[in-house]
Structure 1
Amino acid sequence: MAHVEPYEPRPGPGPNELRVLYREESQAKRRKEARPGLWMAVAIYVLFSATDLLLIPDVALYTITARFAVGLTALLTLEGQLRRGVATQWLDMTCAAAIIFGYIGWLWPTSLGAEREAVAYYMVFGTIFMMSANLFFTFSFKTSIITSTIILCILYVVNYFVPASLTYKLVFGTFYVSCFTFTSYVNWKLNEERYNVFLNALEAKIQHNEATERGKALLRLSRTDPLTGLENRRAIDEKLRDCWSDWQKLGIRFAAILIDVDFFKKFNDCYGHQEGDRCLIHVANALSDLVRQHNGSIGRYGGEEFIVLARLNDKDQVADLAQAICRTVEDLALTHELRRDGTSVVTVSVGAAFTRTQAGGKLEKIIHEADRALYLAKAGGRNCARLFDPTDPQSSDESENIAALLKIAVERDLVSLVYQPIQDLGSGRFDAVEALMRLKMLDGILVPPSLFIPVAERTGAILELGRWAIRTVCTDMLAHDHVRLVSVNVSPIQLKTPGFATSVAGILGETGVAGSRLAFEITEGRELEMDSDILRCISDLKLLGIRIWLDDFGTGFAGLSWLRLIDFDTVKIDRSFLHDCGTPKGMAMLQDIIALVRNRGHKILVEGVETDEQMALMREFGIDKVQGYHVGRPVPAASFQTKRPVQKRPFTVLKSA
């Protein structure tokens, strides 16, 4: 698309084509002028009846009758032809015949009168009819010459019988020929000039059309994405304003659907940018065909993101279209082998929002809602569609309040940490704790981590909160030797951020804490992409002595790949596998996972130990560490005493903060 010229002018018509175009245009012009021309000629012709009364009163009645008869016949014939839509040449023949018979109908009764000299005078008026044929009517040159020649012949015939001297006849004969020659020459020049005017007008029209087409092409180019040929952001924003205006004024509902190609950066890294461009073109073409069936518009919103606007009637139609978008791209079967989520083809994540009545609604609101739905689709595993639901805590307006709250959380002491103990089953000691973040609203109501952590990751607030958490752990727990080791949850977003390892090193230096006393837990979720920046950051953190734990192992698709690439100090097996041990299948699954991790040489920590039976099972399986309510509930830092003696289970009697 980028190599296509915005406008390529077509070659002009050849001489033969020009002649055809001229004839067509001249016929249209003659057809348009035939009626007013003949009506005016008949009116003047009839008005000359006054000269009949003065010059030939004895036959004036006949000449006037002839005038009316010829004029009325010509007009009726022409009107009938126009009503029937006959060809233009027949209209020309009618007008030419009206000129000829008008002269005959005028001259013949005159020749019957007693005033013989009047006949000679009347013959001079024949030149007027020549001028009519050649100048006043826009006949073709051929038709004009034939008509003028017939009138000239009539003049010579009558001139022969007029009783006059030879000199008179020679003079007037020469006059008739001169008039014929002159009017024919003028007619020829007029036709030539008309043709030149036509050529100039045609050239001006072509230039105007080319300028118009060029302008339209440039406008299309300014509104078109050069890679995919779809509408660009500027064009789609205009359509969005139109849809929003129709929704506000006419109540015509519409949906905004955002589409993001999954793991597209990895696709580019694996196959190259040219293949990445081809991938986007294939996706764009497939989606364009699909959206066209729903009378919608699709545009490229930037990078690997597309947007669809469609006027739909209800949420079910929106959901169906969003799901169809996912299926359409997946059905393309474009190979994408570098992703590690169990899928080997290109897929898309889709977030959709539908117009709804809301106070103070603005145009940008529906795009913002679609973006939040897209975030949930990506967080939910990609290759899926999510429709914005205002009642969903993670996508509702409440999350916007939480986003605003997170901006002031550190400053207003709305965020805090609690610590859950971790027991080493081999020694029985509680020498490690996990730091868990808590957030409260201005009125003191606690916000669940499952709600505010995704919002923090989506808004980027997780970066400031993460630095605050690491600093707080170092100052409150490690600097005063309350515990030997504290694990802190770290988001993949933090690991991708340039300078994260440097900022951690700075905190360790300020607080005087050794890196070996910190452990960073990385969640094995779908957001943990196989990113070179993450691998580099983890390597830098390990150089600081920080231990790297893999959290929630078994809940995602990338765990095995990460076990192969990174030497984790500890792997935390998700609580769901322990709780499923009530069935033989669940028990076998847990044993298989433990064997897999143990074969890789990692220490194993099992979460969610809540009963004596589960604790006994962990001892039986030879698990290194355990964590759960049976070991101890999360408590604030104040519950720990400096250099407190180790007890068997000192945390089980403490209540949750």
Structure 2
Amino acid sequence: MGAETRREAGTLDPLSLGGIVSERVSPGLADIAHAEPFEPRYELGPYELRTLYRTEAQAKRRKEARPGLWIAVAIYVLFSVSDLLLIPDVAARTIAARFAVGLTALLILEGQLRRRAATGWLDVTCAAAIIFGYVGWLCPAVMSADKESVSYYMVFGTIFMMSANLFFTFRFKISIITSTIILCILYIVNYYMPTTPVYKMVFATFYISCFTFTSYVNWKLNEERYNVFLNALEARIQHKEATERGKALLRLSRTDPLTGLENRRAIDEKLRDYWNDWQKLGAGFVAILIDVDFFKKFNDCYGHQEGDRCLIQVANALSDMIKQYNGSIGRYGGEEFIVLARMEKKDQVADLAEAICRTVENLAIAHELRRDGISIVTASVGAAFTRKQTGAKLEKIIHEADRALYLAKAGGRNCARLFDPTDPQSSDESENLAALLKIAIGQDLVSLVYQPIKDVASGRLEAVEALMRLKMLDGTLVPPSLFIPVAERTGSILELGRWAIRTVCAELLAGDHVRLVSVNVSPIQLKTPGFAASVATILGETGVTGNRLAFEITEGLEMEMHSDILRCISDLKLLGIKIWLDDFGTGFAGLSWLRLIDFDTVKIDRSFLHDCATPNGKAMLQDIIALVRNRGHKILVEGVETEEQMALMREFGIDKVQGFHVGRPVPAANLQAKRAVQRRPFTVLKSA
């Protein structure tokens, strides 16, 4: 099959012809995000337009060849009636000729169409059908005895001249050739007909006039077809440009401008598709949230441009890696990414989550200001896998991945956690706790108890620490280790913290029942704008001075050296509030915080005291005490439970102690009953 034949096998799209219309190659997502998507149109020259018109006209002529010839043959055969009326003596022959020529032409055309012959050959067949149709009728017609009827009947030959334009859409050249051949035949027959010179001159003039008229009409029709083609081409180009514009805008609206990944809108749509497939077909999938560790510190250290480059590198690396799992990745927020992938087993989920962690770690992007002993950029990963559950909603799997991510960050970062419905800190129980915390204050489900703190040298009660307790609606107690993390994750800690400070001031300090009360304060509270102002308001309303209150700040990963935190601590110290560092030695920020903040007291975690049963443990505690003492801070040791431990604290010269040997947590009423006991310090919101 020739190239022309292959090209004509179907309707051509002129906008897709290489070299004729501008080739618009769709740019990549990242390029679209930064480039103008609407390029100037490439204007076609006259030759290119004519070439394109001929190419498209071929398809149209090919499509119209069959119906045109069938209609022409049908009319040609119907003229047999005129043969019977005007030349009855040769009518049988002319009618037979009509049928023979018509059927032959139709058979040849159908054969060509079946063999997918070129359009040019179809045009030749149709033009030949017109010529032989006239010749085939004329030959037996001139044998009629009624020469006068034949001479007048020949006038109908002009119909064949017009047939080239009436039934077909020939190119102008083929149309002129066909009409010229018919004209020549008419002239020859007219010349030899036994008629008068006047008759010959009149009809010769008539034939020329018909030829001129049909040729002019044919030329105008071809020009009009060309103009229609130009208008249609312009309309198609405009439609394509509008479509491309719409697609480009759609891509832009679904693309993150920095990384070129899908944005939250696009990934949410994909998540909905995954969820529908899970609900209808049982096709399981995993949702994975990825958070770049300490990214704000990275921006503060290296600048926002380097921060952007870091995100782009992470995005590119993860995108390449996710392709191996046939998954999708998008940017879900500042330094947070999300991955969706179809999976059947939890083992696959764990492998993918771990691979994400290692991919980011292997980039080895320098991050010198981290305080956890790692000097490169890493990521925390939380994953949730589809599972059968009643009343499940689309948002639930994202919530579960978010809870798993929270545990990964709380567990030291640079690690992956898979949501476990049996884990109290991540399961549905935490959702129940979150709902319970919202109503805890209004329903009197939350309360405070106070644990004594003793001065080692004098043996007097120096202060008390406020510890929060929560009970469920049925009265069941909830351990602080369960509800405090949930309160921090959901933000309920803000309202609970204000309530605790107000309650401490009202229950103990306003009535001078103790000298000092310490309250545990979450980093989330310290980072909240207006926290110091809200504390000042509470002090003013209750008539308590700030030096009666101490805030314990728990050392840990969440306690970032944040400018807002440092500013808040400074404001609190201006109010006279004492700042204690709690659980020293258990986290990563202790030495940094000792350098940055002038703590009034440092509380050494109970684990170091309990390890004193071994020589190494005792030496470790002595080293920590020496370190803190050299910084000039007072020392409080937690977990004193025996007289032997108390004796050891005297031996080490510790300032204050706390533990069951000193006193167990009691309600405020017990302290109020012992009014003779001098005022002691107070601590709120402790998770131990």
TM-score by length of 2: 0.87
Work out which of the residue numbers 257, 268, 285 in structure 1 matches 2:288.
257
* Distance of 1:592 and 1:7 partners within structure 2: 69
Establish whether residue 374 from structure 1 lines up as the match of residue 405 from structure 2: yes
Work out which of the residue numbers 182, 202, 210 in structure 1 matches 2:233.
202
Establish whether residue 407 from structure 1 lines up as the match of residue 407 from structure 2: no
Counterpart of 2:339 in structure 1 is: 308
CA contact (8 A) 2:381 2:417 kept: yes
Counterpart of 1:20 in structure 2 is: 51
Work out which of the residue numbers 314, 334, 337 in structure 1 matches 2:368.
337
* Distance of 1:257 and 1:559 partners within structure 2: 32
Cα deviation, residue 34, structure 1: 0.5
Counterpart of 1:624 in structure 2 is: 655
Q: Superposition pairs for residues 125-524 of structure 1, below 5 Å? A: 125-524=156-555
Counterpart of 1:117 in structure 2 is: 148
3-state SS, counterpart of residue 345 of structure 1: coil
Cα deviation, residue 448, structure 1: 0.2
Cα deviation, residue 152, structure 1: 2.0
CA contact (8 A) 1:434 1:487 kept: yes
* Distance of 1:121 and 1:575 partners within structure 2: 128
CA contact (8 A) 2:33 2:255 kept: no
Work out which of the residue numbers 90, 98, 102 in structure 2 matches 1:59.
90
Counterpart of 1:651 in structure 2 is: none
CA contact (8 A) 2:508 2:672 kept: no
- In structure 2, the CA distance between the partners of 1:84 and 1:583, relative to structure 1 (3 Å rule), is farther
Counterpart of 1:574 in structure 2 is: 605
AA partner of residue 296 (structure 1): G
3-state SS, counterpart of residue 88 of structure 2: coil
AA partner of residue 629 (structure 2): R
Cα deviation, residue 18, structure 1: 1.3
Unaligned runs of at least 5 residues, structure 2 = 1-31, 679-688
Give % identity. 85
AA partner of residue 333 (structure 1): A
- In structure 2, the CA distance between the partners of 1:302 and 1:511, relative to structure 1 (3 Å rule), is same
CA contact (8 A) 2:602 2:635 kept: yes
Farther off after superposition, 252-261 or 23-32: 252-261
Could you list the per-position Cα deviations for residues 338-383 of structure 1 after superposition, in whole angstroms to 9, with x for gaps in the alignment?
3322233333333332333333333333333233223222222333
Counterpart of 1:46 in structure 2 is: 77
Counterpart of 1:32 in structure 2 is: 63
Cα deviation, residue 305, structure 1: 3.0
AA partner of residue 120 (structure 1): S
AA partner of residue 395 (structure 2): E
AA partner of residue 154 (structure 1): I
Cα deviation, residue 641, structure 1: 6.4
Cα deviation, residue 449, structure 1: 0.4
CA contact (8 A) 1:434 1:486 kept: yes
CA contact (8 A) 2:580 2:603 kept: yes
Could you list the per-position Cα deviations for residues 390-425 of structure 1 after superposition, in whole angstroms to 9, with x for gaps in the alignment?
221112222222223223333333222223333444
* Distance of 2:561 and 2:607 partners within structure 1: 25
- In structure 2, the CA distance between the partners of 1:602 and 1:15, relative to structure 1 (3 Å rule), is same
Q: Superposition pairs for residues 505-584 of structure 1, below 5 Å? A: 505-582=536-613
* Distance of 1:464 and 1:40 partners within structure 2: 88
Counterpart of 2:121 in structure 1 is: 90
* Distance of 1:425 and 1:396 partners within structure 2: 43
Cα deviation, residue 592, structure 1: 3.7
Farther off after superposition, 270-279 or 135-144: 270-279
TM-score by length of 1: 0.91
* Distance of 1:198 and 1:646 partners within structure 2: 103
- In structure 2, the CA distance between the partners of 1:581 and 1:87, relative to structure 1 (3 Å rule), is farther
Counterpart of 1:81 in structure 2 is: 112
3-state SS, counterpart of residue 125 of structure 1: helix
Could you list the per-position Cα deviations for residues 454-498 of structure 1 after superposition, in whole angstroms to 9, with x for gaps in the alignment?
111122222222223233333434445544433221111121222
* Distance of 1:306 and 1:312 partners within structure 2: 19
Unaligned runs of at least 5 residues, structure 1 = 648-657
3-state SS, counterpart of residue 605 of structure 1: strand
* Distance of 1:290 and 1:232 partners within structure 2: 18
Greater RCO (Cα-Cα under 8 Å, separation 6 or more): 2
- In structure 2, the CA distance between the partners of 1:35 and 1:515, relative to structure 1 (3 Å rule), is same
3-state SS, counterpart of residue 371 of structure 2: coil
AA partner of residue 493 (structure 1): I
Cα deviation, residue 29, structure 1: 0.7
3-state SS, counterpart of residue 250 of structure 2: helix
* Distance of 1:320 and 1:391 partners within structure 2: 21
CA contact (8 A) 1:6 1:221 kept: no
AA partner of residue 518 (structure 2): S
* Distance of 1:498 and 1:474 partners within structure 2: 22
AA partner of residue 25 (structure 1): E
* Distance of 1:618 and 1:373 partners within structure 2: 41
Establish whether residue 69 from structure 1 lines up as the match of residue 100 from structure 2: yes
Cα deviation, residue 436, structure 1: 1.6
CA contact (8 A) 2:289 2:405 kept: yes
AA partner of residue 100 (structure 1): I
Cα deviation, residue 43, structure 1: 1.7
Could you list the per-position Cα deviations for residues 505-533 of structure 1 after superposition, in whole angstroms to 9, with x for gaps in the alignment?
34344444443333221111101011111
Cα deviation, residue 332, structure 1: 3.0
* Distance of 1:141 and 1:272 partners within structure 2: 71
Farther off after superposition, 349-358 or 87-96: 349-358
3-state SS, counterpart of residue 5 of structure 1: coil
CA contact (8 A) 1:253 1:355 kept: yes
CA contact (8 A) 2:71 2:167 kept: no
Cα deviation, residue 619, structure 1: 4.3
Cα deviation, residue 164, structure 1: 2.4
- In structure 2, the CA distance between the partners of 1:584 and 1:27, relative to structure 1 (3 Å rule), is farther
3-state SS, counterpart of residue 350 of structure 1: strand
- In structure 2, the CA distance between the partners of 1:59 and 1:330, relative to structure 1 (3 Å rule), is same
Aligned-residue CA RMSD (Å): 2.8
3-state SS, counterpart of residue 308 of structure 1: strand
* Distance of 2:372 and 2:44 partners within structure 1: 61
Could you list the per-position Cα deviations for residues 576-617 of structure 1 after superposition, in whole angstroms to 9, with x for gaps in the alignment?
333344555545544443333333232333323334554454
- In structure 2, the CA distance between the partners of 1:63 and 1:348, relative to structure 1 (3 Å rule), is same
